[in-house]
């Protein structure tokens, strides 16, 4: 049997964790990632019947029954994960209608999955219903997006339109817009349900004064969505206090729709 530590799943996860830390998105133990894997993918590396231990989740999500996830661990510093991936990451299988997770590899110090498990797993279920190829849910704390939630209207249409106007790429990368949640207590089932509800029709959800969730078919997609939104938020924070002379017009945004074959979220453009 091959070593899971050397699998492309762990290697790619670690590479992205290092890049997220380098961007300053994951101070201390901030941020978490979950990656959906198939039994076929994991069975080259672990024996599916060899369960190390079972960890209760505190929620129910029958849609994920029997599915495998590589997830970051609670309290783990992204800065340190590359030096000991088997400590910072765990491979789990959801069981008992999502009420428990069976650990197959990792969390070697006896730890458990991220405190944001409800938001991750409920978002996976929501995204999989919208796109059966979705595999990644990623959460982090990028400076400019956080800053923007202190000074910008949290209305989703207004927030999305501002991001689209801050960089030509934005409407092409996330034409469905961003979801925005007001400040809520993190780590709870309530914020998980609210995040998943937004994820039904979007891949980006902002948690005001906290951070952002991105979803995608692979790590590049989730990372690229967050990277693009954060870039746009950075432009906004550079210009918001200056007199605005011009911006990208709705006419320009319509031209981008046509040129790149994307459709802006219904009602978001005039
Ligand atoms: O895991 O980011 O939202 C630390 C967090 C909680
Ligand atoms: Zn967080």
Q: At what angle do helices 219-239 and 156-166 cross, to 10 degrees?
A: 90
Mean pLDDT of 111-115: 97
Regarding the beta carbon of 31 and ligand 1, being less than 6 Å apart is answered yes
Q: At what angle do helices 219-239 and 143-151 cross, to 10 degrees?
A: 50
pLDDT for 215-238, tens place per residue? 999 999 999 999 999 999 999 999
Mean pLDDT of 120-129: 98
Cα 209 to middle of ligand 2, angstroms: 10
Mean pLDDT of 68-79: 98
pLDDT for 42-62, tens place per residue? 999 999 999 999 999 999 999
Tell me what pLDDT residue 184 has: 98
The CA distance from 237 to 244, in Å, is: 13
The CA distance from 116 to 72, in Å, is: 10
Which residues does the annotation mark as catalytic? 116
The CA distance from 106 to 180, in Å, is: 33
Burial class (CB in 10 A: 0-12, 13-18, 19+), 155: exposed
% of the chain beyond a pLDDT of 70: 100
Burial call 23-38: b when 16+ CB within 10 Å, e when fewer: eebbeebbbbbbbbbe
The CA distance from 236 to 154, in Å, is: 14
Mean pLDDT of 55-80: 98
Regarding the beta carbon of 16 and ligand 1, being less than 6 Å apart is answered no
**Domains of the chain and CATH, by start:** 1-114 (3.40.225.10), 116-262 (3.40.225.10)
Tell me what pLDDT residue 32 has: 98
Give me the sheet containing 53-56, strands edge to edge.
Answer: 53-56, 100-106, 89-95, 68-72, 32-37, 136-140, 211-216, 204-207, 179-181
Tell me what pLDDT residue 85 has: 98
pLDDT for 145-172, tens place per residue? 999 999 999 999 999 999 999 999 999 9
Tell me what pLDDT residue 105 has: 98
Tell me what pLDDT residue 266 has: 98
The CA distance from 78 to 86, in Å, is: 13
Regarding the beta carbon of 115 and ligand 1, being less than 6 Å apart is answered yes
Cα 204 to middle of ligand 1, angstroms: 16
Dihedral-angle region of residue 62 (phi above 0 means left; psi in -120 to 50 means alpha; beta otherwise): alpha
Residue from 183, 186, 214 whose mutation best tests the ligand 1 pocket (most atoms within 8 A of CB): 186
Closest of 143, 215, 151, 144 to residue 179, by C-alpha: 215
CA 102 to chain centre: 22
pLDDT for 183-209, tens place per residue? 999 999 999 999 999 999 999 999 999
pTM here is 0.98
Neighbouring residues of 245: CB distance < 8 A, sequence distance ≥ 6: none
Query: With bands split at pLDDT 50, 70 and 90, how would you rate the model's confidence at 9?
Result: very high
Regarding the beta carbon of 73 and ligand 1, being less than 6 Å apart is answered no
Mean pLDDT of 82-104: 98
Cα 29 to middle of ligand 1, angstroms: 7
Tell me what pLDDT residue 233 has: 99
The CA distance from 107 to 122, in Å, is: 22
pLDDT for 128-139, tens place per residue? 999 999 999 999
Tell me what pLDDT residue 92 has: 98
Burial class (CB in 10 A: 0-12, 13-18, 19+), 160: buried
Cα 142 to middle of ligand 2, angstroms: 10
């Amino acid at each position: 049997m091959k070593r899971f530590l050397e699998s492309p799943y762990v290697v790619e996860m670690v590479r992205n964790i290092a890049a997220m830390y380098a961007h300053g998105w994951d101070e201390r133990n901030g941020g978490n990632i979950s990656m959906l894997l198939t039994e076929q993918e994991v069975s080259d590396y672990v024996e599916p019947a060899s369960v190390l231990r079972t960890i209760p989740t505190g929620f129910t999500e029958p849609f994920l029954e029997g599915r495998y996830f590589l997830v970051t661990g609670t309290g783990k510093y992204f800065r340190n994960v590359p030096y000991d991936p088997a400590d910072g990451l765990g491979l789990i299988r959801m069981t008992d209608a999502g009420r428990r997770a069976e650990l197959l590899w990792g969390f070697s110090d006896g730890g458990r999955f991220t405190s944001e498990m409800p938001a991750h797993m409920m978002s996976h279920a929501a995204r999989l219903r919208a796109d059966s190829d979705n595999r990644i849910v990623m959460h982090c704390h990028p400076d400019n997006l956080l800053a923007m939630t202190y000074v910008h209207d949290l209305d989703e249409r207004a927030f999305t339109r501002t991001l689209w106007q801050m960089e030509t790429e934005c409407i092409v990368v996330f034409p469905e817009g961003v979801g925005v949640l007001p400040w809520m207590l993190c780590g709870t089932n309530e914020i998980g349900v609210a995040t998943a509800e937004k994820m039904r029709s979007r891949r980006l959800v902002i948690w005001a004064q906290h951070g952002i969730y991105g979803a995608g078919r692979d790590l590049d997609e989730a990372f690229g969505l967050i990277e693009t939104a954060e870039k746009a938020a950075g432009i906004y924070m550079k210009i918001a206090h200056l007199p605005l002379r011009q911006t990208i017009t709705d006419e320009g945004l319509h031209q981008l729709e046509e040129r790149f074959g994307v459709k802006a979220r219904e009602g978001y453009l005039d």
